[in-house]
Amino acid sequence: MEPDRQAYDRGQTIFSPDGRLYQVEYAREAVSRGSPSVGVRTAEGPVLAARRPLRSPLIEPESVAKIHEIDDHAAVAAAGHAADARRLVEVGREAATGHRIRYDEPIGTDALARAVADHVQEHTQTGGSRPYGTALLVAGTDGGLFEVDPGGTVAGWRAGAIGADAGEVRSVLAEGLEDEPGTLDRGIELALGALAREDSLEPEEVAVATPDAGEPATFSRLSSAEIDRFTPAS
Amino acid sequence: MEPDRQAYDRGQTIFSPDGRLYQVEYAREAVSRGSPSVGVRTAEGPVLAARRPLRSPLIEPESVAKIHEIDDHAAVAAAGHAADARRLVEVGREAATGHRIRYDEPIGTDALARAVADHVQEHTQTGGSRPYGTALLVAGTDGGLFEVDPGGTVAGWRAGAIGADAGEVRSVLAEGLEDEPGTLDRGIELALGALAREDSLEPEEVAVATPDAGEPATFSRLSSAEIDRFTPAS
Amino acid sequence: MEPDRQAYDRGQTIFSPDGRLYQVEYAREAVSRGSPSVGVRTAEGPVLAARRPLRSPLIEPESVAKIHEIDDHAAVAAAGHAADARRLVEVGREAATGHRIRYDEPIGTDALARAVADHVQEHTQTGGSRPYGTALLVAGTDGGLFEVDPGGTVAGWRAGAIGADAGEVRSVLAEGLEDEPGTLDRGIELALGALAREDSLEPEEVAVATPDAGEPATFSRLSSAEIDRFTPAS
Amino acid sequence: MEPDRQAYDRGQTIFSPDGRLYQVEYAREAVSRGSPSVGVRTAEGPVLAARRPLRSPLIEPESVAKIHEIDDHAAVAAAGHAADARRLVEVGREAATGHRIRYDEPIGTDALARAVADHVQEHTQTGGSRPYGTALLVAGTDGGLFEVDPGGTVAGWRAGAIGADAGEVRSVLAEGLEDEPGTLDRGIELALGALAREDSLEPEEVAVATPDAGEPATFSRLSSAEIDRFTPAS
Amino acid sequence: MEPDRQAYDRGQTIFSPDGRLYQVEYAREAVSRGSPSVGVRTAEGPVLAARRPLRSPLIEPESVAKIHEIDDHAAVAAAGHAADARRLVEVGREAATGHRIRYDEPIGTDALARAVADHVQEHTQTGGSRPYGTALLVAGTDGGLFEVDPGGTVAGWRAGAIGADAGEVRSVLAEGLEDEPGTLDRGIELALGALAREDSLEPEEVAVATPDAGEPATFSRLSSAEIDRFTPAS
Amino acid sequence: MEPDRQAYDRGQTIFSPDGRLYQVEYAREAVSRGSPSVGVRTAEGPVLAARRPLRSPLIEPESVAKIHEIDDHAAVAAAGHAADARRLVEVGREAATGHRIRYDEPIGTDALARAVADHVQEHTQTGGSRPYGTALLVAGTDGGLFEVDPGGTVAGWRAGAIGADAGEVRSVLAEGLEDEPGTLDRGIELALGALAREDSLEPEEVAVATPDAGEPATFSRLSSAEIDRFTPAS
Amino acid sequence: MEPDRQAYDRGQTIFSPDGRLYQVEYAREAVSRGSPSVGVRTAEGPVLAARRPLRSPLIEPESVAKIHEIDDHAAVAAAGHAADARRLVEVGREAATGHRIRYDEPIGTDALARAVADHVQEHTQTGGSRPYGTALLVAGTDGGLFEVDPGGTVAGWRAGAIGADAGEVRSVLAEGLEDEPGTLDRGIELALGALAREDSLEPEEVAVATPDAGEPATFSRLSSAEIDRFTPAS
């Protein structure tokens, strides 16, 4: 590494001469070291799917949290530092609860993503804390699907991916995505295919959450059996 | 880079021997890395136009926020760190709301720009935080068009540009601008032409906001179809 | 050690260029310097067992705390800095008491582990404090067995190990573990065998806690005589 | 630059071995990089005049603030960082308002200058903030004309100058100044001549403020037409 | 000293790459520079004995505090920085008083040691303060004898030693200690013998405290005459 | 400058190995760079005299403050940073006012000097602020004449000097001073002679304050005409 | 100076590898640069005597404070930074006043010394402030005579010395001291002899305070005439 860069890359509160925030870029590296998560918008609402990192056969797969419920109507899939993600989930839950109390209705997915992202942005500007080493895909039963990255940027996706090999995963998504949002089943298939790429995937290696058919719809997780139906055969 | 400069460019709270604030200059670099935004004063009020950075065809263009409503009568176009801009928008909204509550009338564009700029200035002087890596064009239905830069400086423009290649964009504006403010349509045309320069622009690559014909006028965004009317043919 | 690493490894609030948090990794080293603790889920609830570091024959073995009661229904086994562990136990007790007061029922083991881990995560992100140099195995009479590591990550284990030679200890556990949870006696045997590995163990060198047969079950420690029954002969 | 100096010039809270405060001296450099302002005492009250830095023909000259009203009876002309100046103006306004509320009379120009200077001094002594990169000429209808510099020093001037080439501007003033205060017109002429030096000045390149003939007198700005009357022919 | 170590040994809030806390280890060095203190459990309660550092014949031996009463029923012997020890004694007294007020009974020695140790631990984790350069032996009339070290670790001892040559002093204790706790007289003899080792000890060079025969027992100090009875002849 | 010194001279809160506080010594350098002030005790009360630094003929000499009234009965003459001195004057006024309110009598000169010096001392010990770059001569109608230096030390003088060439100025004072306090006129003459040394002094270059003949006496300044009477002829 | 030492000697909150606190040791150097003070216990109470540093014949000797009254019944003699000592005197006075209010009796000399020493200790452990560069001899009419050093250590002395050449001064004291406390006159003689050593002492060069014969005794200072009686002839 060149010496100049080292002059600017250890403080989250300083810019480099070319206007970069290195600590935020390094936090993005932390995200890209995490197992990937994907989201796909469908006509029946967005699908979230995440690959679980199982570092030992003694681990209980269910305990490795990659998808978190924010509220009945919204969920997030994370990539990067699991402990950081848990804290952002807490921030999201507080925003959702606060919105329900103030307005007596669920928070929009867009506003939820921005509330979390505002908290993330502060950690890129104010000293005394590092940025969050995690990215989130925020999905809601209102159809919204947004990414929050370690810089606090928000972007809406038709189909998105975060974590390891996100670029390649997105290529698989782009290939399979049609112009119009498809069925939920097609979305799950697409999401799991993108997570697997050339490999096969055991059902316990992934978590999937979708809006259910209820009125109002709530996010619920697929069982292993349900996932098994969609997992690409090896 | 010369060693001497490195002695002074990592603290936002110190001057260099020649009286410069390097961290503020680096924040300006961050602005010049962002996709450009322009503003043009017209006889019917200021036009704001911004180019959206679409890093993937999977992104929903509408979700990439470059123009933000502050209040019915005022809007801003940003360039630079999107997350920083979102926070400044919040500062502007608080100033606008506070003014309405205290004086029962909309805040002037000039005062709005200064309120945001005062907040920006503090981040160039007080430790524990970096400057904002964003510049804003603040426009109001009172006709005002002001730039707030990362140093907290405020300037009024007949037609202005921030972000990547701002100098070149301004040259296009200067060429097309007449001595007297023109029509809104002419202003939109000029703004989009300046953003496009030699290229063509797809309607989803830009956002445009103008005061509408209402009484009082409020800022509203142009639809893709409306933008398409003004987009330079490739 | 390479110079580059030293540029990033002394601040718990900075990322290295490859997205690592060195101070958290060094805290994990502190854990791996501590005498090991293990946990095994059984049909009758999880077993915790820990090896005591007795640095002098003049020390009272009972005074060397490795297993701590959190509440009647939950206990933790620690590895790493004993003083750090004591503070995390306090955090866990506050969470357990708070839960009882608010909901009039014992806190779930999962929620208890996450409450402690949230506290641990803060110490990896916010300045002015080092991370915790300790890992915990959290066990509850609801059958849950979770690890909290110095990064604030939570994982559920069928059988887990922390501290010195945790990898080797886990191998012994994996060999001995059957597909279905076994009896408590089998679990104790397995835990002590894993702690001992090829050595023999004097009863005073270990602490063991299991749920008792009460209704509701509470965690209680095995006496030296009881432990002696299970200790592998040398 | 010699290495020794660098040992002392980056902290506003340390002295160099020869008792200098380098950060304050560098802030003075920032002032001398700004476009100049002048003040001239006359028999009818002090004149303030300032040169506007117009970095583009697209800028609205009126929006480039160099002279600020503090109260009906007092105004300041600034040189240096415009955003810093705006904050000092706010400090001055608070002092003026506070004085009116407590004593029911306008604050003296001397006391106003000292109130602002006390705030400036704090920023040269207390850590966590840089000094102000701005100097002010404070003028009042009581005839007072004072300079506040980045070190917090206050000095009264018969005719003074701050900003770029202040020494040369002062020489022009000294040549033109008579022993007794002259007329307001003569003062304006002298001020504009000093700002122009050998060049010509367009009216929109300068701002001028003087006490008017009212009872009590208030500071008001000259119109472009009025300025034109006094601008030295090229 | 190797350069690598110096990279990690000046901040009490950072770990070294091998998981060590150097500042805590250096604080232990401070303890080992202090004159030694010992404790011995007996059937009649624990004996505390400490060697006084008398750096001048003009000093009043009684004024050199090595043993401190915490409460009627508990006392500590210190080694290391005397001023640090005084502060920990204060912490212990507050814990004892708080316990009496809340529970109307004396605090257990174990809980007292842990309360002091929790305070010590905080000083090894939180910035802005160094660790305590002192170790304590905490003894109570309930028979408990605990060591609190600069890392905040607590250990119970049948017979323990802190300060200079603690290892050698402990060897003397280990040789003389029988399997069952002995008489108080035997304990005093053993403690003084261990402090003296091969030397002789003048009574004013040591302080000794034991529980008295009262009901309830309280800690009291031995007079010079009493100590003289036990001091090994030279 | 030797490297060792630089290791200790940039923090006001650290001692050098030989027990010096370099930042305080450098602040004394700042004092010795300022124009001198003197004080002389007389039978009619202490005389204060100060030389004004007039860096331009355009400056109003009266506006260059070197002598400040603290209260009717006390005044100070300063040397060093004028802005720092102004702040210490404020500290002195608060002490004087506080004393009047509490005790209904003027504060003694000794107590006034100590109150200011206590504030100065804090700035030599506590971080986050530099020492004061100013020394004061504090004089009262009770006859007291005290120096407060940048280290916070207080000393009473029969005749004292601070600022540039204080040693030489003191020599002139020592030569002229008689064993018994002389008349006020003689004191003024002595003070002005010491300030002038071999040079001549224009009346506007000096400020002089003495207790007047009122009952009670108050400090008042000499007019230019009065000073002229005492100024040494060139 | 060896480089290693410099790695540890600039932070009052860090230990060196051998467990030393260099900043405290440097503060002791500051003490040993100050003019000496001595204390001698006598049958009629302790004598305090201090040598005044008179750096100019123009200084009023009485104004150079070395001995300070804490209360009617207690006084301190200081060596080292005079301004630091003044602050410790304030701490002692608050302790004495607080004790009188709470217990309606004078504070014991021992408790007074410890109260001051506790404050001194904090400044050796907590960041953001340097240690005190002063030592005190605390004497009371209850006969107590204690030293408080910059590390916060307290020691009682039969006869003690602080400041320059304290070791040599103590040797003189040790030679002259008898086994039993002597008369007050003998104590004064001994104290002044130790301060003078081979030199002669002018009465104005020393300050002496002793308990008077009142009931209760209070500390009072000896007049020059009284001191003259005891000063060793040259």
Q: How far is D21 from chain B, CA to nearest CA, in Å?
A: 12
Residue of D nearest to B109 (CA): D63
Which among D15, D152, D155 is the nearest to F26, CB-wise?
D15
pLDDT higher at G199 or G100: G100
User: In Å, how far are B211, F18, G67, G203, G220 from G162, measured between CA atoms?
Assistant: 81, 16, 13, 20, 21
Residue of G nearest to F111 (CA): G63
Question: What integer is the mean pLDDT of D64-87?
Answer: 97
At residue B8 the predicted structure's pLDDT band, cuts being 50, 70 and 90, is: confident
Q: Which of E90, E130, E132 to mutate to test the interface with G (most CBs of G within 10 A)?
A: E130
The Cα B195–Cα B203 span in angstroms is 12
Other chains touching A, judged by 3 or more CB pairs under 8 Å: B, C
At G1 the pLDDT is 47
Residues of B in contact with A7 (CB under 8 A): 6, 10
Task: Output the pLDDT for position C128.
Answer: 83
Which among C22, C11, C37, C35 has a CA at the least distance from the CA of C151?
Answer: C22
Q: What is the mean pLDDT of residues C49-71?
A: 95
Question: Rounded to the nearest 5 degrees, what angle is found at the Cα of A144, between the Cα atoms of A143 and A149?
Answer: 155
Give the closest of E19, E158, E170 to C29, CB-based: E19
D29 with B14: Cβ contact below 8 A: no
**Which residue in G91, G186, G99 sits closest to G142, CA to CA?**
G99
Q: Which two tokens stand for residue E22?
A: 């150097």
Terminal CA-to-CA distance of chain F, rounded, Å? 41
Of the candidates G42, G18, G12, the one whose C-alpha atom is nearest the C-alpha of residue G211 is G42
Q: How far apart, in whole angstroms, are the C-alpha atoms of residue C9 and residue E17?
A: 8
Which residue bears the tokens 């007019």?
Answer: F223
Task: Give CA angle at G68 (G63, G72), nearest 5°.
Answer: 130
Q: pLDDT tens digit string along F63-91?
A: 999 999 999 999 999 999 999 999 999 99
C111 to each of C45, C80, C99, how far by Cα in Å? 17, 23, 10
- List chain D residues with CB under 8 Å of B154: 63, 65, 82-83, 86
Taking the C-alpha atoms of residue G138 and residue G119, their distance in angstroms, rounded to an integer, is 15
CA distance B229 to B199: 16
Identify from G14, G35, G63, G64 which residue to disrupt to test chain F contact, counting F C-beta atoms within 10 A and taking the largest count.
G63
- At residue F32, the pLDDT reads 97
Residue type, C26: Y
Rounded CA-CA distance D61/C102 in Å is: 64
Selecting from C26, C86, C87 the residue whose C-beta is nearest the C-beta of E15 gives C26
pLDDT digits (tens, 9 = 90+) for B185-209: 999 999 999 999 888 889 999 999 9
Contact B86 A152 (CB under 8 A): yes
| Interface touch G14/E23, C-beta < 8 Å | yes
Asked if pLDDT for residue B234 goes beyond 60, the answer is: no
For chain E, list residues whose CB is within 8 angstroms of any CB belonging to chain C. 4, 7-8, 11-21, 110, 114, 117-118, 120-122, 124-128, 146, 151-160, 170, 173-174, 177
Tens-place pLDDT, residues D172-219: 999 999 999 999 999 999 999 999 988 888 999 999 999 998 889 999
Question: What's the burial of G84, exposed, middle or buried (CB within 10 Å: 0-12/13-18/19+)?
Answer: buried
Return the beta strands (E) in E145-231 as ranges.
Answer: 145-148, 154-156, 159-162, 206-211, 219-221
Question: Does D18 contact F26 at a Cβ distance shorter than 8 Å?
Answer: yes
Q: How much of chain C exceeds pLDDT 70, in percent?
A: 96
Q: CA–CA separation, B181 vs D85, rounded Å?
A: 31
Contact G130 F128 (CB under 8 A): no
The verdict on a CB contact (< 8 Å) between A117 and B6 is: no
Crossing angle of helices A82-103 and C109-125, in 10° steps, is: 110
Per-residue model confidence as pLDDT tens digits over B74-122: 999 999 999 999 999 999 999 999 999 999 999 999 999 999 999 999 9
CA distance G194 to G199: 10
Q: Which residues of A touch C (CB under 8 A)?
A: 1, 6, 9-12, 22-23, 26-33, 56-60, 62-65, 81-84, 86-87, 90, 123, 127-133
**Amino acid making up residue C58:** L
Number of CB atoms found within 10 A of residue D99's CB? 18
Question: Which of F17, F146, F174 comes nearest G57 by C-beta?
Answer: F174
Q: How confident is the model at residue F186 (pLDDT cuts 50, 70, 90)?
A: very high
Q: What percent of chain G stands above pLDDT 70? A: 96
Residue B40, phi then psi, degrees to nearest 5: -135, 125
Pick from F17, F117, F127: CB nearest G26: F17
d(CA A208, CA A220): 8
CB E195 within 8 A of CB C103: no
Distance CA E45, CA F180 (A): 74
Phi, psi of G80 (to 5 degrees): 115, -150
Residue given tokens 């961290």 in the structure block? B23
Query: Nearest Cα to G66, choosing from G85, G39, G47?
Result: G85
Among F14, F20, F124, the residue with its CB nearest the CB of G83 is F124
CATH class for domain A2-230? alpha beta
Q: Which residues of B touch A157 (CB under 8 A)?
A: 56, 58-60, 63
Q: What contacts D133, CB < 8 A, 6 or more positions away?
A: B15, B19, B21, D27, D30, D31, D80, D81, D84, D150
State residue E4's pLDDT score.
72
pLDDT tens for chain A, residues 1 to 234: 455 777 777 766 788 999 999 999 999 999 999 999 999 999 999 999 999 999 999 999 999 999 999 999 999 999 999 999 999 999 999 999 999 999 999 999 999 999 999 999 999 998 888 999 999 999 999 999 999 999 999 999 999 999 999 999 999 999 999 999 999 999 999 999 999 988 888 999 999 999 998 889 999 999 999 999 887 655
**Residues of chain C contacting residue A6, judged by C-beta atoms under 8 Å apart:** 4, 7
**C-alpha dist (Å) from residue B132 to A125, A135, C123, C193:** 8, 22, 27, 59
Q: Which residues of A193-211 are buried (b: 16+ CB within 10 A; e: fewer)?
A: bbbbeeeebebbbbbbbbb
What pTM was estimated for this model as a whole?
0.93
Q: Name, in order, each residue with C-beta under 8 angstroms of C36's C-beta and a sequence gap of 6 or more.
A: C50, C51, C79, C161, C162, C163, C164, C165, C166, C169, C195
Beta strands across the sheet bearing G154-156: G67-71, G74-80, G134-140, G145-148, G154-156
pLDDT at F3 over 90: no
- Residue with the larger pLDDT of the pair B5 and C87: C87
H or E stretch covering B67: strand B67-71
Instruction: Give me the percent of chain E exceeding a pLDDT of 70.
Output: 96
Residue E2 pLDDT more than 70?
A: no
Beta strands in chain E (DSSP E): 37-40, 47-51, 67-71, 74-80, 134-140, 145-148, 154-156, 159-162, 206-211, 219-221
* Interface residue of F2, F15, F126 to substitute, partner G, most G CBs within 10 Å: F15
| Subunits close to E (at least 3 CB pairs below 8 A) | C, G
| Main-chain dihedrals φ then ψ at residue F47, nearest 5 degrees | -100, 135
* Cβ neighbours of E179 (radius 10 Å): 6
pLDDT at G11 over 90: no
CB G76 within 8 A of CB G147: no
Chain G positions touching E11 (Cβ under 8 A) are 14
Residues in chain G: 234
Alpha-carbon distance of B69 to A87, in angstroms, equals: 30
Question: Across the interface, do B128 and D128 touch by the CB < 8 Å criterion?
Answer: yes
Chains that touch G (3 or more CB pairs under 8 A): E, F
Q: What is the DSSP letter of G197?
A: T
In Å, how far is A137's CA from the nearest CA of chain C? 20
Mutation for D interface: B119, B123, B125, B136, most D CBs within 10 A: B125
The mean pLDDT of B13-32, rounded to a whole number, is 92
Q: Looking at the partner chain, which of G18, G21, G155 has a beta carbon nearest the beta carbon of E64?
A: G155
What local confidence, expressed as pLDDT, does residue F1 receive?
Answer: 47
Q: Give the mean pLDDT of G45-54.
A: 97
Nearest-by-CA chain G residue for E1: G4
Q: What is the mean pLDDT of residues C114-123?
A: 97
Whole-angstrom Cα distance, residue A212 to residue G119? 65
The stretches of C33-157 forming alpha helices (DSSP H) are 82-103, 109-125
Q: What is the pLDDT of residues D8-53, one digit of tens each?
A: 777 667 889 999 999 999 999 999 999 999 999 999 999 999 999 9
Question: Which residues from A are below 8 Å from B130, CB to CB?
Answer: 12-15, 21, 125
Give tens-digit pLDDT for A9-49: 776 678 899 999 999 999 999 999 999 999 999 999 999 99
pLDDT at E12: 61
What confidence tier does C1 reach under pLDDT thresholds 50, 70, 90? very low
> For the segment F98-113, what is each residue's pLDDT rounded down to a tens digit?
999 999 999 999 999 9
C59/E128 CB distance under 8 A:
no
Q: What is the pLDDT of residues C169-185, one digit of tens each?
A: 999 999 999 999 999 99
| Tokens of residue C179, six digits | 């597909």
Beta strands in chain C (DSSP E): 37-40, 47-51, 67-71, 74-80, 134-140, 145-148, 154-156, 159-162, 206-211, 219-221
N residues, chain C:
234
**Contact (CB, 8 A) for B84 and B140:** no
Across the interface, do D64 and B20 touch by the CB < 8 Å criterion?
Answer: no
pLDDT of amino acid C122: 96
Cα–Cα dist D90/E24, whole Å: 50
Of residues B22, F84, F56, the one with CA closest to residue D133:
B22
Neighbouring chains to B with at least 3 Cβ pairs closer than 8 Å: A, D
Looking up tokens 């902290």 gives: D11
